[in-house]
């Protein structure tokens, strides 16, 4: 039994509240257990200088935590005057993951800025961010469709993320909370599409290692969890969910 009474293959309760903030084109509050992240997708009608004139769009992400999202207060990165390595890793991961399921050729010369701001943290903030950001991005494209700014949903597939890991006693578990994460010998974040392909696998064994058979078990757990997460995303999106996949990305074009 885990410290919060879940089975090894149980996700924590997930809720996704759409339109949480009024200004952004897409906005959700995602809660995964006690982890709460505001994911806002903002559409800007231009692309970074290095991409101008190609007729393509861009998606980029930023990630931050409120200072007291955690048990101990953290100094703001704006006060320190620089962004930590951890933050950079996470925001690069979120952006990369989202781009893997969006056909950037079909959104015009626009940038989608995705802001994931953690207001309460209890483990899994980066995977919750990806899961919530996906919904915010689809909502933002929904608004562009409504305004006839684009004419096809440019999102090719569902996208979600979760964590899996090996606890000290050797059990493999799904969706680690903060307590488990701080104890785990192996920690792996997995990003997958709705059709079950991998987008990103980041498995780390700090001061520990893991075998091929452990890897297999962990990926099986992730795959299971993903199906449930996709179901919740679909529910939140309602009608818009049906338009995902309208665009197919040609791998050779990538």
CA end-to-end span of the chain: 44
- To the question of whether residue 86 is assigned a binding role by annotation, the answer is yes
Please tell me whether 196 is known to bind a ligand.
no
Residue 217 buriedness (CB in 10 A; 0-12 / 13-18 / 19+): middle
Nearest to 62 by CA among 133, 148, 120, 2: 133
Query: 238 among the known binding-site residues?
Result: no
Residue 192 C-beta: closest distance to a copy of itself, Å? 8
Nearest to 100 by CA among 195, 31, 17, 215: 195
Which lies closer to a copy of itself via its Cβ, residue 76 or residue 227?
76
- DSSP letter assigned to residue 247: S
CB nearer a copy of itself, residue 62 or residue 228: 62
Q: Is 126 annotated as a binding residue?
A: yes
Binding site for a copy of itself (CB under 8 A): 21-24, 27, 34, 38, 40, 42, 44, 62, 64, 66-71, 73, 76-85, 87-89, 91-92, 96, 99-100, 104, 113, 115, 117, 119-120, 168, 185, 188, 193, 196-212, 215, 219, 249, 251-252, 254
Cα separation, 134 vs 111, in Å, equals: 15
Closer Cβ to a copy of itself, 94 or 237, answer by number: 94
Q: Which residues are annotated as a binding site for phosphate?
A: 86, 124-126
């Amino acid at each position: 039994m885990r410290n919060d009474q879940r089975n090894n293959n149980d996700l924590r309760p997930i809720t996704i509240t759409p339109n949480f903030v009024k200004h952004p084109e897409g906005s959700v509050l995602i809660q995964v257990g006690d982890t709460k992240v505001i994911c806002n997708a903002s559409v800007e009608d231009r692309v970074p200088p290095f991409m101008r004139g190609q007729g393509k769009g861009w998606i980029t992400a930023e990630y931050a935590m409120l200072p007291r999202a955690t048990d101990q207060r953290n100094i703001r990165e704006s006060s320190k005057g620089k962004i930590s390595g951890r933050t950079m890793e996470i925001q690069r991961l979120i952006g990369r993951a989202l781009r893997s399921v969006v056909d950037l050729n079909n959104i015009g010369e626009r940038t989608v800025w995705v802001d994931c701001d953690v207001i309460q943290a209890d483990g899994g903030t980066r995977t919750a961010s990806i899961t919530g950001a996906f919904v915010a991005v689809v909502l933002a494209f929904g608004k562009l469709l409504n305004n006839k700014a684009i004419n096809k949903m440019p999102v090719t597939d569902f996208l979600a993320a979760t964590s899996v890991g090996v606890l000290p006693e050797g059990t493999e578990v799904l969706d680690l909370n903060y307590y488990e994460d701080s104890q785990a010998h192996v920690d792996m974040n997995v990003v997958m599409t709705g059709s079950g392909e991998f987008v990103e696998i980041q498995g780390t064994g700090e001061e520990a290692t893991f075998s091929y058979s452990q890897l297999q078990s962990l990926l099986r757990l992730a795959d299971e969890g993903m199906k449930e997460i996709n179901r919740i995303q679909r529910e939140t999106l309602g009608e818009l969910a049906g338009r995902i996949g309208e665009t197919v990305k040609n791998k050779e074009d990538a």
